[in-house]
């Protein structure tokens, strides 16, 4: 059984979600050719700590950084490094915070300078597949409804869905039940109920859906070395319509 959150808990999680969203926006300000991914990590960790929170990824099961930074063919869980971003790269940034006993989690894929048309389409479709999935996060639906919405949309454009990784519940722990796959059949999977808090996070490949694990035991690469995109938002399951706690508004509309 998955315990729905109280309204008080949801408000604490909202604070985390907004902080994560603002952190990603701070990172986005410095994404550019010539910048190392270590610098992106430094910006995020400084901002998180300056706002009284802790970067929840740092030290999680031994993870060495505040951010998962995944460039081009890295799907998720890439390490920040001395890698210098180049024009035409894409960089997926996954960020987590721990604040007042609760977790926040969100991810966004940034273009580095000008990217080619097909890569831009991958980013657009992946983000839209996230919103399609979110629309299904309503009381009485099942996780398969979310997965089906993501999968059917992404595959209609010729892209593929990573199946070895999934979204998740979130709360006092960063990863809680239920798992939220990005593929599936309507009416299947765990039942969603009002007050459940989940992270929906499509990971969509430009080529085949196959992946492999890096020798470092963390980074997941596409098997064909084609690009992969990743977007994630934290959502409260509600009756009628879902409530989205995190936002891309700070990234996409910096004057908001």
pLDDT, tens digit (0-9, with 9 covering 90-100), for 218-249: 999 999 999 999 999 999 999 999 999 999 99
Considering the entire predicted model, what is its pTM? 0.97
Chain centroid to Cα 26, Å, comes to: 16
2: pLDDT confidence band, cut at 50, 70 and 90? confident
Give the domain extent around 59.
Answer: 7-252
118: left (phi over 0), alpha (psi -120 to 50) or beta: alpha
pLDDT, tens digit (0-9, with 9 covering 90-100), for 195-207: 999 999 999 999 9
The C-alpha atoms of residue 254 and residue 183 are separated, in whole angstroms, by 33
The domain total for the chain is 1
What is the reported pLDDT for 256? 67
Is residue 2 domain-resident?
A: no
Is residue 242 domain-resident?
A: yes
Is residue 1 domain-resident?
A: no
Find the CATH number of the domain harbouring 12.
3.90.230.10
pLDDT, tens digit (0-9, with 9 covering 90-100), for 17-61: 999 999 999 999 999 999 999 999 999 999 999 999 999 999 999
pLDDT, tens digit (0-9, with 9 covering 90-100), for 91-144: 999 999 999 999 999 999 999 999 999 999 999 999 999 999 999 999 999 999
Residues 6+ apart with CB under 8 A from 103: 13, 16, 56, 96, 97, 170, 171, 172, 173, 174
pLDDT, tens digit (0-9, with 9 covering 90-100), for 145-176: 999 999 999 999 999 999 999 999 999 999 99
Pairing, β 197-200 against β 167-169: antiparallel
What is the reported pLDDT for 255? 77
What is the reported pLDDT for 3? 87
């Amino acid at each position: 059984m998955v315990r729905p959150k109280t309204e008080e808990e949801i408000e604490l999680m909202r604070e985390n979600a907004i902080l994560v969203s603002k952190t990603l926006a701070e990172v986005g300000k410095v994404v550019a050719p010539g910048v190392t991914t270590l610098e992106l990590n430094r910006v995020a960790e400084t901002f998180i700590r300056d706002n009284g929170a802790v970067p929840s990824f740092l030290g999680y099961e031994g993870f060495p950084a505040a951010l998962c930074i995944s460039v081009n063919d890295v799907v998720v869980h890439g390490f920040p490094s001395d890698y210098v971003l180049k024009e035409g790269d894409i960089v997926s940034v996954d960020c987590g915070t721990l604040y007042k006993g609760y977790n926040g989690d969100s991810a966004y894929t940034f273009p580095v300078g000008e990217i080619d048309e097909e890569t831009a389409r991958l980013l657009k479709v992946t983000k839209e597949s996230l919103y399609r999935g979110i629309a299904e996060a309503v009381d009485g639906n099942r996780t398969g409804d979310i997965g089906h919405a993501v999968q059917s949309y992404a595959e209609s454009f010729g892209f593929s869905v990573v199946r070895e990784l999934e979204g998740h519940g979130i709360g006092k722990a960063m990863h809680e039940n239920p798992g939220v796959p990005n593929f599936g059949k309507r009416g299947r999977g765990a039942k969603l109920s009002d007050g459940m808090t989940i992270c929906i996070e499509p990971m969509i490949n430009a080529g085949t859906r196959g992946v492999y694990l890096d020798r470092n035991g963390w980074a997941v690469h596409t098997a064909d070395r084609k690009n992969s995109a990743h977007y994630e938002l934290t959502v409260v399951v509600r009756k009628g319509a879902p409530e989205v706690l995190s936002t891309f508004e700070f990234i996409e509309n910096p004057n908001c």
